[in-house]
Amino acid sequence: MSQGIDLRSDTVSLPTEAMLAAMMAAELGDDVLGDDPTVQRLEARCAALSGKEAALFVPSGTMANLIAIEVSTRRGDEVLAHEAAHPFHYEAGGAAGLAGIQLRLVPGPRGVMDPDVVAAAIRPEAPHHPRTSLLCVEDTHNRGGGRIQPLENTDALCALARERGLASHLDGARILNAVVASGVPLERRARGFDTVSFCFSKGLGCPVGSILCGDRGRMIRARRMRKMLGGATRQAGLLAAAALYALDHHVDRLAEDHRRAQELAGGLAEAGFALEPPETNILVVAVPSAPAFVERLGQHGVRCFPVADDRLRLVVHLGIDDADVQATLGAFTAARG
Ligand SMILES: Cc1ncc(COP(=O)(O)O)c(C=O)c1O
């Protein structure tokens, strides 16, 4: 049965035939015993790409964030993050439930935090207060509509964190979208952060997999934590091969997703819809009664999610072509009635 045009998330993208062939050809070993050469190649490549000493392949972006938080905090600490941050909304409370920290949320337009506001949220040292020990930044920002973090701002945030004795983590689930759209390499975007994570299972089309990169000490602790969470897996090279294939073949093409998001935005604006201009592959559109509008779009073959009562989100990915963009524009006009 046809799934229609699925713009709910880039996580719905499927591995291509060529990616599956690369997976089938992967050299495998038991990664828990340190024997999988394909995982080792992926980890070395991602460490180099991100400019960090070491990397750890994990099953999901959620686990990467949880481990990143765990290795830079102690129980009872406070972690600063944007009020629309992924771990706050979509990670089942794992940061509190498993890492034992409390999140303190910072406002800011489309996921971008003002260093002065962050500075004001850092607790003074006193036995009454939790210790503020980590700052998390998300690039691109999911609920911020795929917003790319301005580099001078993340530099200022990282400098502030360092100065005030906080560690810093970059949730870069879609950082390769930011890299392609901005032309600024991953190593530079991640430079000031102690840890950075990114996902292969979003716009890059892999079935499973994320990576966490950082210094050797943190990555040793991260490996132990991954084991504790049940995320250490055996012949994981099968999945690492998909990630290596994606790094070779699916990164530059993210520019096509960004172009299609722009085309969708242009067409929708022309049709009278208000929207936030997309910077990457995510587009947030204002509609009256979003849940009902999403339902009507579904009847016209387009799937997406409401993100508020009056807004819905479209995410462009590997499985969306130019004809889908045109069909989506038609469905919006039809759904408006
Ligand atoms: C910004 C961000 N971080 C983390 C995640 C978690 O990734 P996963 O779904 O692989 O757990 C997502 C998932 O969409 C995300 O958008």
Tell me if 106 is assigned to some domain.
yes
Indicate if the pLDDT at residue 25 is higher than 50: yes
Whether residue 172 sits in one domain with residue 286: no
Domain range holding 160?
17-249
Whether 335 shows a pLDDT value over 80: the answer reads yes
Burial category of 92 from C-beta neighbours within 10 Å (exposed 0-12, middle 13-18, buried 19 and up): exposed
Q: What rounded mean pLDDT belongs to the chain? A: 97
pLDDT digits (tens, 9 = 90+) for 54-109: 999 999 999 999 999 999 999 999 999 999 999 999 999 999 999 999 999 999 99
pLDDT at 2: 55
**Which residues have CB under 8 Å from 159's CB, separation 6+?**
192
CA–CA separation, 163 vs 244, rounded Å? 36
Do 280 and 146 contact (CB within 8 A), yes or no? yes
Residue 11 lies in a domain: no
Q: What is the pLDDT of residues 251-291, one digit of tens each?
A: 999 999 999 999 999 999 999 999 989 999 999 999 999 99
**Domain count across the chain:** 2
Q: Whose CA is nearest to atom 13 of ligand 1?
A: 61
CA of 233 to the centre of ligand 1 (A): 20
Tokens 């093409």 found at: 253
Helix ranges (DSSP H) in the chain? 17-24, 37-50, 61-71, 86-90, 94-97, 115-121, 151-163, 175-182, 186-189, 216-228, 237-249, 254-270, 290-299, 322-336
Nearest CA to ligand 1 atom 5: 61
Task: For residues 147 and 100, state if they share a domain.
Answer: yes
- Which residue's alpha carbon is nearest to atom 9 within ligand 1? 61
Site residues for ligand 1, CB cut-off 6 Å = 11, 60-62, 65, 86, 138, 142, 171, 173, 199, 201, 210
What are the helix and strand counts (H, E) for the chain? 14, 13
Global pTM value: 0.97
Paired with 284 in beta bridges are: 276, 313
292 and 224 assigned to the same domain: no
User: Are 160 and 212 contained in the same domain?
Assistant: yes
Which residue has the CA at smallest separation from atom 16 of ligand 1?
Answer: 142
**DSSP state at residue 304:** -
Closest ligand 1 atom to Cα of 171: 3
Asked if residue 302 lies in contact with residue 331, where contact means CB atoms within 8 angstroms, the answer is: yes
The total number of residues written for the chain in this structure: 337
pLDDT above 70 (res 4): yes
Report the CATH number at residue 88: 3.40.640.10
| pLDDT of residue 337 exceeding 90 | no
Q: Which atom of ligand 1 lies at the shortest distance from residue 9's CA?
A: 14
Is residue 9 included in any domain, yes or no? Answer: no
Same domain, 67 and 203: yes
- In tens, the pLDDT along 107-141 reads 999 999 999 999 999 999 999 999 999 999 999 99
Distances, alpha carbon 290 to alpha carbons 47, 170, 314, in Å = 41, 31, 12
Ligand 1 nearest-atom number relative to CA 140 = 1
Pocket test for ligand 1, best of 90, 239, 305 (most atoms within 8 A of CB): 90
| Gap from CA of 86 to ligand 1 centroid (Å) | 7
287/243 Cα distance (integer angstroms): 36
* Statement to judge: residues 313 and 212 lie in one domain: no
Q: How many Å lie between the centroid of ligand 1 and the Cα of residue 173?
A: 6
Residue with tokens 């580099």, as numbered in its chain:
151
- Specify the ligand 1 atom closest to the Cα of 60: 10
In which band, very low, low, confident or very high, does the pLDDT at 1 lie, cut at 50, 70 and 90? Answer: very low
Same domain, 134 and 203: yes
**pLDDT, tens digit, for every residue of 45-64?**
999 999 999 999 999 999 99
CB neighbour list of residue 288: distance below 8 Å, 6 or more residues apart: 310
Residue for token digits 């070395």?
Answer: 44
- Indicate whether 61 and 188 sit together in one domain: yes
Q: What is the DSSP letter of 280?
A: S
Shared-domain flag, residues 54 and 28? yes
Q: Which of 249, 280, 305 is the last residue of a domain?
A: 249
For ligand 1, what atom is nearest to the CA of residue 201? 10
Question: CB count, 10 Å around CB of 270?
Answer: 9
Residue 6 lies in a domain: no
